[in-house]
A and B are shown apart, each in its own frame.
Chain A
């Protein structure tokens, strides 16, 4: 084999390894993206459950609420208007904040009416909401962990080259104030 042949073989080997690296890098980024999307649907599931329990709670306390009625009705309206699968992560954060407001309003009402607090129906809902909160917090942490891993791939060298080539962009974290690195405490 002549010198040109050797150069061609070496170039072929180099191109082969570059291709392998690009394929590997692309797949790794794509996997990261899928994981982030899966984790986001986990948040959607938890939010839907939270909406459902919250709506039931609003139904129960509505009759007792005078001053908080408007806040509670906002949640019902939100429930009917929002499509979680189409909402951005910022929108989801806003939804969580509004739901938190509703939770606080429910809290205020419940504190004023001990008979409501003691009712079996309400106790059942309390149990459900506590579990839903735990799941929502878990979903948020899973999402953020996956976003962190994915963003590192997108931003760090050399995988950022492949990310740039295929237009992979960093994703935003889900950071609802109330959930920052602490366990959920539902106090009624």
Chain B
């Protein structure tokens, strides 16, 4: 399908969502009034409100799902084409939980969700990336003894996995926050202080041994990690393990989602292209394509 034609189709679908959103407000108002008339009390209003909300969600949800599917199925391949990168995309898949857990960056979640998987090779460096959302289950009791279960997000953002060009035993982690609970998930690491004072202030480094940390975190890699951190809002985490580098960016955003309250324009498209090009930028900035053995 031609790009402009696709844009028109998506715009039509987007307008349908906004229209349905407006209608759904009307639906809720009507059901609230019906609840009040029939029930004659606050319970009636509550039931009416619930029914209204339920129908509204279903009404708007179906059109949003259709819009999202069209965007991801048809528009995303075109955006990827614009980047010039050779990568595969599957919006229903993501970086698997086992892979994420292998990095040792976070504890095992009670709820795990991933989507927007991209994978490929750049300059002989294999990579994959996706959105990842991890939550833990927390049970609380109020003063009356009522149990309440809630799911607390402890990571939501993008996860990258790259081939790493140095081999060593153990694990090295560079984190923007501390690692007080690290021992909880069985990592035998100690805090390492590197010679770069600015780096030490910005990040906490943990490794199974000091030599490996200095072997991997060369002065130039530390400089490039600092640059990368300045580029991304939110917290950034690095884990070097085996011959893999995991980078986790916790920015609480859902990437590659079509806009609902504004049209898909050039600015939006450029932002998506830039978001994908990050995959390549990381390889260049961290010089992951530099084979030290060449």
Contact = CB atoms under 8 A, between A and B. Distances in A.
Interface string B264-294: 0000000000000000000000000000111
A50 interface: no
Contact of A145 (B193, B215, B293): B193
Interface string A129-170: 011001101110110110011000000000000000000000
A134 B193 contact: no
A144 B211 contact: no
A144 B195 contact: yes
B211 A142 contact: yes
B259 interface: no
Interface in A70-99: none
A183 interface: yes
B219 A134 contact: no
A131 B291 CA distance: 10
A134 B215 contact: yes
B219 A142 contact: no
A67 interface: no
**Chain A's interface: helix, strand, loop or mixed, by majority?**
helix
Given A42-B211, A130-B292, A145 B218 contact: no
Interface in B206-238: 210-211, 214-215, 218-220
Given A145-B194, A183-B218, A130 B210 contact: no
B211 A138 contact: yes
Interface in A91-145: 126-127, 130-131, 134-135, 137-139, 141-142, 144-145
Contacts of B191: none
Nearest to B166: A134
A137 B195 contact: no
Interface centre among B193, B194, B292 (most CB of A within 10 A): B292
A130 B292 CA distance: 6
**Chain B's interface: helix, strand, loop or mixed, by majority?**
loop
B224 to A, nearest CB: 11
B219 A139 contact: no
Contacts of B219: 181-183
Given A42-B211, A127-B293, A134-B166, A141 B195 contact: yes
Interface residues of A, number: 21
Contacts of B292: 130-131, 134, 184
Contacts of A39: 210
A145 B220 contact: no
A145 B211 contact: no
Contacts of B193: 145, 149
Contacts of A145: 193-195, 210, 214
Nearest to A145: B195
B214 A138 contact: yes
Interface string A56-75: 00000000000000000000
Contacts of A148: 195
Contacts of B194: 145
Contacts of A135: 211, 215
Contacts of B218: 134, 137-138, 183
Nearest to A182: B219
Nearest to B193: A145
Contacts of B214: 138-139, 141-142, 145
A58 to B, nearest CB: 20
Given A134-B166, A138-B214, 19 more contacts: A126-B293, A127-B293, A130-B292, A130-B294, A131-B292, A131-B293, A134-B215, A134-B292, A135-B211, A135-B215, A137-B218, A139-B214, A141-B214, A142-B214, A145-B194, A145-B214, A149-B193, A182-B219, A183-B220
11 contacts: A39-B210, A127-B293, A130-B294, A134-B218, A138-B211, A138-B215, A141-B195, A142-B211, A148-B195, A182-B219, A182-B220
Interface of B: 166, 193-195, 210-211, 214-215, 218-220, 292-294
